[in-house]
Structure 1
Amino acid sequence: MRVLLIGGNGFIGSHLVDGLRAAGHTVSVLDPRAPRADADWRGVEYRQAAYSDRAAIDAMLDGCDVVLHLASTTVPSTSNLDPVRDVSTNLVDTLGLIASMRERGLRRIVFFSSGGTVYGNPDRLPVDETHPLRPISSYGVVKVAIEHYLLMYHALGDLDPLILRPSNPYGPRQIASGQQGFIATALACAHQGLPLRIWGGGNTVRDYLYIDDLTDLVVRAVNGSSSGVYNVGSGAGHSLNAVLAAVERVTGRTIRVEHLPERGFDVREVVLDIAAASARFGWRPQVELEQGIALTWHRDG
């Protein structure tokens, strides 16, 4: 099967390339950036082009069996700065992709939404897929809008979309930007002896998922024809303070913390109910938090 990854040069995408290729699939990638140097691109058809480049999209879709849509030009901390750009470069460009797929009768798309932002501040934990969607960042709003368009075209009989809502993936190759990826940033601070910035008191709770567990789920799901919406997480929550303590234990280093004011777009606490994905795909995450931090430290360090 030929799989096209839109945004396949990123942290998640590069690991999916490895997993899908190992499973015997032919892999193609479209990404606006040059291929990253820390990944193996042998046997991969790689095209460097903007997500808005319809000619490039059309060329890559020819002969494709399934599309994995991982691309995003924003993260939650940047999306509210320019919501118009967020909509035009993510929602509008995705609608262009959908139009190209429909023109070719290509039905299968796996969309990577966001289990960390689409629910907003949940009413209950763990949060399942039936929970109301109340995002508090433009990033989450756009993810929800794309979900709704995909489900609309499914209802109209045009697409077979699988919508995944990953929690907070982490692992080797994740860039420590300080904007997204708390574990990667904390490990980089430990490595370089730099202070770690935390917005608020460190009590924010997230559901962290090791990248190999996410890849395992996707490899299982891409082979089938299942449509619908599925949370993909560890099913366990950890505060930033707890993660920091685990990083210090793994690295044997003390990290100085700089506390900054809380941000209004940060969800206070989210832990995903993963029962639906476990039942449908026969999948369970295998890597616990501290084990995953150690794997990341030793592979990237």
Structure 2
Amino acid sequence: MPTGRPPARDNPAAGITGRVALVGCNGLIGRAVTRLIGPVLGERLTLVNRSELGPAFERWAPSARRAIADLAEPDRVAAACGDAEIVVDLVADGTPVSVHGFDLRRIHQLAALRCDVHAALAARPGRHLILTSSGGAVYGEAGETPVSENRAERPAAPYGLLKLSIEQGLAHVGRATGLTWTVLRIANPYGPGQQVRRGQGVVAALVEASLNDIPFQLRGDGGEIRDFVHVADVAEAIALTVRGGRDLAGEIINIGSGAGRRIGDLIRLVEEAGRRPIRVETMPQMPGEIRSNILDVGKAARLLGWQPHRSLERTIQLLLTERTGSAGEAADDPPAAEDAAPARMKAAPGPRTKATPPGPLWFFLHIPKTAGSSLRSELAGGLAPNANVTVAPADSGRSFEARRDAAFDRFLAEHAARPFRFASGHMRWRQVRRLPAQDPQARLTTMLRDPVTRVVSAYRYMRTPLHPPHEDFIREFPRIEDFIEHSAHRNYMALFLSDSDDEPAEAIVDRLDSAFAFVGLYEDYSLSRAVLLRLAGVAAAEERHVRKTPDLPVNEVTASADLERRIRARNERDCEIHALWRDRFERRRAEFLAFLAAPSDARPAGPGGALS
């Protein structure tokens, strides 16, 4: 078990030859790997992600090539990897909680999508692929004895089944194409910059609970045993695997600490380090959740010359002192806990003070299919800390709207404890209207889109694998006409922006004028984007379209005057809202252009000194 500071040793990346591509590099592990190998590989490193990477990557890997590609477009992912001899697949597959409700069909769909990506990557002869998988979820219940790679896989929950299905799909691609591969089954990573997610990131969640005096949600009775491994140790293991390359072909290797921790003991450890009790909310375990899992890491020592070194106790003390754990997205440039000055450990955490970020919160009310993912990516990349407000997975006791309310409640509590600079989510006005009362300096923004193109775009998107239940959707709505007639998909913009079902469109638009700092138009995306980024103080890079719906035979739609007429007839409130706002937008076009041409400290007139 790791107990102290890692001994001085060479960077494992120093022995890497050739070109390397990291796919899905903006998670906890991907960021740690980039930070480790970026300075060594320089131009030999390619970073592939589904959205724009934040400014920290410029510091970690200033010479690396960057590319945006989504798994829904396997050929694009393969093209983005270029001539890399080794590709590391770091893509997250949700969390145990978010995947819990998936049925077999949905799991197979997601695994097949990843299989298509791996097959596309195999088109380059001689390429080697390294897949990061899950040690705990794949093996299932293991008892208190460390499990080796020889142990039969018995996943007990959908998340483990998904991870194992992806592994098996990769092996099939290898047999069919000659692609060589190595799988790393990773225990529970922790460390600076970890996001706090429901059902994942126990260490980060406990640190947040201690710092912010918020409840920690415990699934079970605290006797559950988990294997926790520092993300910097994981990054070193990945770098050593990259260095081994094809010599490790066909190997499955556990990466963990080799020791188990009871969750109840971990709670007491954080309480002692933080010098305050933690309020624990006990929740029932999910069906199939394992009681105990510890990984045997002997094979990693033999094949990679790797062993974990970082101390969980030391890292917790430093996280509490340095306050690098975040309730939102990963910190932009989190310090490595094991590199912090030893004197920091002696500083007792005093009463927590509210941190104030250098600027107001911008909240993006994201109406689906209005180019919000693209804007969100850019704003999140330039404004930290930030958060994506997401609704918890389905449960039998609460409606979707109740869970949406709960999600926004959690966000408000987190923002009060530690202010964000940017946040977004598929929230409605009935939730978002509470934000200005709590934070009068917060600035609201959103985007509108012509209802005809928005409805067509939503229909096309939901017929692709980007929308996990797309097969169910296709069966329910075999034609776009069926989709148009369904009441749940009408007047979506009014649904997100109105106070009530019968609120007049003009009243909604007046509120956009008075309560929102800026409202853009999809049809004027370039101008809207430029103004919003300038207002928020985010440097504009090359314009990119994130999560673009792929053109597939199954989502072809033939435009016609009759189709447009039917959509407008079924979305009258949205059409009125869009037309009224388009008129106000046009009247201010000259002002927008003058604002963009003016010095950077100039601001156009409008409510609160911002755009309306």
Is the TM-score greater than 0.5? yes
What per-residue deviation string (whole Å, max 9, x for no partner) do you get for residues 165-222 of structure 1? 0000000111012321100111111111101010111111100000111111111110
Q: Whole-Å Cα distance in 1 between the matches of residues 167 and 67 of structure 2?
A: 26
Structure 2 matches for 1:31-180, cutoff 5 A?
Answer: 31-36=49-54, 40=59, 42-83=62-103, 84-89=105-110, 91-122=111-142, 125-155=145-175, 158-180=178-200
**Is 2:312 the counterpart of 1:277?**
no
Q: Whole-Å Cα distance in 1 between the matches of residues 166 and 93 of structure 2?
A: 14
Q: 1:3 to 1:136 in 2, by over 3 A?
A: same
Deviation at residue 285 of structure 1 after TM alignment: 0.5
**Bigger radius of gyration:** 2
Say if 1:171 and 1:210, in contact at 8 Å, map to a contact too.
yes
Q: 1:161 to 1:55 in 2, by over 3 A?
A: closer
Structure 2 matches for 1:211-290, cutoff 5 A?
Answer: 211-224=231-244, 225=246, 226-227=248-249, 228-290=251-313
Say if 2:119 and 2:173, in contact at 8 Å, map to a contact too.
no
- After TM superposition, the structure 1 stretch with the greater mean CA deviation from structure 2, 290-299 or 188-197, is 290-299
Deviation at residue 106 of structure 1 after TM alignment: 4.3
**Is 2:20 the counterpart of 1:20?**
no
One-letter amino acid matched to 1:205: I
Deviation at residue 288 of structure 1 after TM alignment: 2.2
- After TM superposition, the structure 1 stretch with the greater mean CA deviation from structure 2, 46-55 or 280-289, is 46-55
Say if 1:171 and 1:295, in contact at 8 Å, map to a contact too.
no
Deviation at residue 82 of structure 1 after TM alignment: 2.5
Deviation at residue 58 of structure 1 after TM alignment: 2.7
Identity of aligned residues (%): 27
Deviation at residue 73 of structure 1 after TM alignment: 3.5
Match of 1:5 in 2: 22
Deviation at residue 235 of structure 1 after TM alignment: 0.3
Q: Whole-Å Cα distance in 1 between the matches of residues 268 and 35 of structure 2?
A: 31
Q: Whole-Å Cα distance in 2 between the matches of residues 242 and 37 of structure 1?
A: 37
- After TM superposition, the structure 1 stretch with the greater mean CA deviation from structure 2, 153-162 or 219-228, is 153-162
TM-score scaled by length of structure 2: 0.47
Q: 1:168 to 1:88 in 2, by over 3 A?
A: same
**Higher helix proportion:** 2
Say if 1:233 and 1:272, in contact at 8 Å, map to a contact too.
yes
Say if 2:189 and 2:234, in contact at 8 Å, map to a contact too.
yes
Match of 1:201 in 2: 221
Match of 1:30 in 2: 48
Say if 1:73 and 1:86, in contact at 8 Å, map to a contact too.
no
Match of 1:183 in 2: 203
Say if 1:170 and 1:208, in contact at 8 Å, map to a contact too.
yes
Say if 1:38 and 1:173, in contact at 8 Å, map to a contact too.
no
Say if 2:142 and 2:293, in contact at 8 Å, map to a contact too.
yes
Deviation at residue 110 of structure 1 after TM alignment: 0.5
TM-score scaled by length of structure 1: 0.92
Q: 1:222 to 1:296 in 2, by over 3 A?
A: farther
Aligned-pair Cα RMSD in Å: 2.0
- After TM superposition, the structure 1 stretch with the greater mean CA deviation from structure 2, 177-186 or 79-88, is 79-88
Match of 2:324 in 1: 300
Q: Where does the alignment leave 5 or more consecutive residues of structure 1 unmatched?
A: none
**Higher strand proportion:** 1
Q: How many residues of Structure 1 are paired with residues of Structure 2 in the alignment?
A: 300
Q: Whole-Å Cα distance in 2 between the matches of residues 95 and 154 of structure 1?
A: 10
Deviation at residue 92 of structure 1 after TM alignment: 1.9
Say if 2:215 and 2:279, in contact at 8 Å, map to a contact too.
yes
Q: Which has the higher contact order (CA 8 A, sep 6+)?
A: 1
Q: 1:62 to 1:33 in 2, by over 3 A?
A: closer
Q: Whole-Å Cα distance in 2 between the matches of residues 87 and 13 of structure 1?
A: 25
**Secondary structure of 1:116 counterpart:** helix
Q: Whole-Å Cα distance in 1 between the matches of residues 226 and 253 of structure 2?
A: 17
